[in-house]
Amino acid sequence: MASIAKLPSGKFRAQIRVAGQYRGRSFVTRREAQDWANATEVYLRQAASSGVIQPGSALKLSDAINAYLEAVRLKPANQASLRAFGRTVGAISVRDLNSATMQRWIDHRLKVDGVLGQTVAHNIGLISSLLKWLRYSRNLDVDPLLTKHARASLGAARVQTTSQERDRYITDSEINIMRNTFASQAKLKLPMADLMDFALATAMRLGEIARITFEDLSHNERTVLVRDRKDPKRKLGNHMRVPLSSKALAIIERQESRSGRIFPFAVNSVSIAWIVARDLAKVEGVTFHDLRHRAITDLFARGLSIEQVALISGHKTWSQLRRYVQTQPASLVDLLG
């Protein structure tokens, strides 16, 4: 049964005991306390009937994270995010993980680490998957709703959790300036002009360009298999075969490598080379990823349909694809007559 008491501070303390398990939390209003108590009572009764196990006090959150990462395949960046979560609050036991712990971690990420709200929201999604794995795969009594409350706290604090759409359009002049800057760097070992042109010809992300191999290439079909394309619902195994233009094939043919990766270069090395050239050329604010924006915009300008562009770019919905399209007002003048 739940009990709700008003504290000297004016807040309301909700406490509940079900099947020998205790939960308690403070709220600003009695209604919030009652709603939480009702939801928690349902959860605890379901947990008791399903045979979940109360985690032992010796099971630390950091140990649970390590076990999860050994059992579930995640991208390196997502692994790093969960390990960072463990470094901040991993010393507590799994059974003591609560909303206060989550809020302490959120405050640390925003104020100490200085990350943006959308990064915290992404991290919360990873933690949600961790809690669901502990609850449903390992039958441990953890509350998967903790991450729901964490998201609500971001909203209550009016923390921006969606990224701002980028509208930077790299022009022909800027592309030529960057290409000439790379050509003037005698000691540069990376084929940056080819990488630029390949990005413009395929609309691929830099990471995708760096992953494709000669084994993924089909000369007869004039296609290439792009592995692990970015997708919000499918982190790994999202492979897509995409068409290649004659220009893209010509760029591949003139690469020195003939086996393994077509562009056997580290993504970080390419990014650093781009930043150095951009600063030398004084082309403000342009990124390598802007080449993908430009390429997708050009595909629409050539008359391709949404479905055709999506097949090339890898987007699943128009809402995902739309933010990459920077149609220039001047390009519509002739169409208007």
What pLDDT, on the 0 to 100 scale, is given for residue 113?
83
**Which residues are CB-contacts of 229 (< 8 A; sequence separation ≥ 6)?**
208, 238, 239, 240, 314
Instruction: Give the residues across from 6 on adjacent strands.
Output: 12
What pLDDT, on the 0 to 100 scale, is given for residue 167?
65
Question: pLDDT tens digits, residue range 159-180?
Answer: 887 765 566 788 999 999 999 9
CATH of 53-164, one of 2.102.10.10, 1.10.150.130, 3.20.20.150, 3.30.499.10: 1.10.150.130
What pLDDT, on the 0 to 100 scale, is given for residue 331?
52
Please give the average per-residue pLDDT across 120-127, as a whole number: 92
CATH number at 172-336: 1.10.443.10
Q: Is the pLDDT of residue 317 over 90?
A: no
Query: Which range among 144-158, 235-249, 285-299, 317-331 shows the weakest confidence by mean pLDDT?
Result: 317-331
Segment (H or E) for 175: helix 172-183
What pLDDT, on the 0 to 100 scale, is given for residue 333?
47
- Two structure tokens written together for 247: 């220009």
Query: Which range among 11-25, 123-137, 260-274 shows the weakest confidence by mean pLDDT?
Result: 11-25
Question: pLDDT tens digits, residue range 101-111?
Answer: 899 999 988 88
User: CA angle, corner 68, sides to 64 and 71, nearest 5?
Assistant: 140
Question: pLDDT tens digits, residue range 12-57?
Answer: 998 888 766 677 888 889 898 888 888 877 767 766 655 667 777 7
pLDDT confidence tier of residue 332, bands split at 50, 70 and 90: very low
Q: Which amino acid is at 235?
A: K
Of the two residues 215 and 237, the one the predictor is more confident about is 215
What is the pTM for the complete model shown? 0.54
Among 107, 93, 100, 106, smallest CA distance to 142 is for 93
Q: Is the pLDDT of residue 330 over 60?
A: no
- The mean pLDDT value of the chain amounts to 84
Q: What is the DSSP letter of 94?
A: G
Torsion of CA 9, 11, 12, 14, to 10 degrees: -90
Please give the average per-residue pLDDT across 276-302, as a whole number: 89
Q: Among 25-39, 106-120, 190-204, name the most confident range.
A: 190-204
